[in-house]
Amino acid sequence: MNLILLHPRELTDQHATLTGRRAEHIRKILRSKIGDSVRVGMLGGLLGTGRIREMDGNSIVLQVHLTTEPPAAPPTDLILAVPRPIMLKRVLAQAVSMGVDRIFLINANRVEKSFFNSTLIQNNAFAEPLLLGLEQAIDTRPPEISVHPRFRPFVEDFLPELLADCRIRLLAHPEGDQNIAQAAGGLFGQRVVIAIGPEGGWVDFEVQRFKEQGFAPFSLGARILRVDTAVPALLAQISLLRQLTAPAS
């Protein structure tokens, strides 16, 4: 936890009272004492510091001073075929820590239909993994998440409007005949959308539908990765390509 995240309702007269996991982290991991400052952020708002004013056995009172804008979200959107719920939690936290603007959770031929009946999706219970990712990355603004249980309406009806401002469209696919750099071209200053399939990969029908929407299939090479490995690996490659294609200052 690199950031203590606060909810707006917790702040009263620039003071916040913490209990539970955040208080335990300050007490046991940071080993902070009264008078010390910790890094804090307001969910959806500014970053700053919290000075410890009171500590007892269960709670900590912080005097909060918020001053700094959080980092801008990279112009990267993630289309993800829904994995197993326990894996989805990990993937969401990793994606948020890497930095994405929007996440679209979609169906695919090799996605188990029961995944869409999970408590995580049915109750829109994404808060925990999103907060973990924000705490890791020192960010306060979670990405937008939407769920699309029908593949064809998403690709044929929803995607065209979504992609109106996105020139770089990438499809992770083991049978792609180019690497991500070749598929992406120049990334700097461009919005990127990347689609990552289920554990068994996209079927031919799905690949063709994505191609019709301008997606370029690419491969990571001979090794096939699990979804929870592929997502951070690919987002890291996009981040690196942005740095390499940025104009010299």
Q: What is the pLDDT along the chain (249 residues), one digit of tens a residue?
A: 899 999 999 999 999 999 999 999 999 999 999 999 999 999 999 999 999 999 998 899 999 999 999 998 889 999 999 999 999 999 999 999 999 999 999 999 999 999 999 999 999 899 999 999 999 999 999 999 999 999 999 999 999 888 888 889 999 998 888 999 889 887 767 889 999 999 889 999 999 999 999 999 999 888 888 999 999 999 999 998 888 877 766
Q: What 3-state DSSP class applies to 181?
A: helix
Region class of 39: left (phi > 0), else alpha (psi between -120 and 50), else beta: beta
- Domain termination residue (choose one: 68, 98, 122): 68
Q: Are residues 156 and 37 in the same domain?
A: no
Residue with tokens 């005097």: 63
Residue 185: CB atoms within 10 Å: 12
- Kindly state the greatest CA–CA separation across the chain: 61
Look at the chain and report how many structural domains it folds into.
2
Question: Are 102 and 44 within one domain?
Answer: no
Q: Are 92 and 126 in contact (CB under 8 A)?
A: yes
Sequence-separated contacts (24+) of 185-189 with Cβ below 8 Å: 186/245, 187/238, 187/241, 187/242, 187/245, 188/242, 188/245, 188/246, 188/247
Same domain, 151 and 88: yes
- Left if phi > 0, otherwise alpha if psi is -120 to 50, otherwise beta: which for 24? alpha
- Cα distances from 69 to residues 47, 100, 130, in angstroms, run 6, 17, 19
Same domain flag for 212 and 186: yes
Residue 248 neighbours by CB under 8 Å, 6+ apart: none
Based on the domain organization, do 171 and 126 belong to the same domain?
Answer: yes
Same domain, 148 and 212: yes
For residue 148, give both structure tokens: 């699309």
User: How many other C-beta atoms are found inside a 10 Å radius of the C-beta of residue 128?
Assistant: 12
The domain boundary, picked from 68, 96, 121, lies at 68
The half-sphere exposure of 95 on its side-chain side, counting CA atoms within 13 A, is 31
- CA nearest 194: which of 213, 174, 168, 176? 168
Same domain, 58 and 80: no
Are residues 195 and 178 part of one domain? yes
Paired with 63 in beta bridges are: 15, 51
- Look up the domain containing 33 and give its range: 4-68
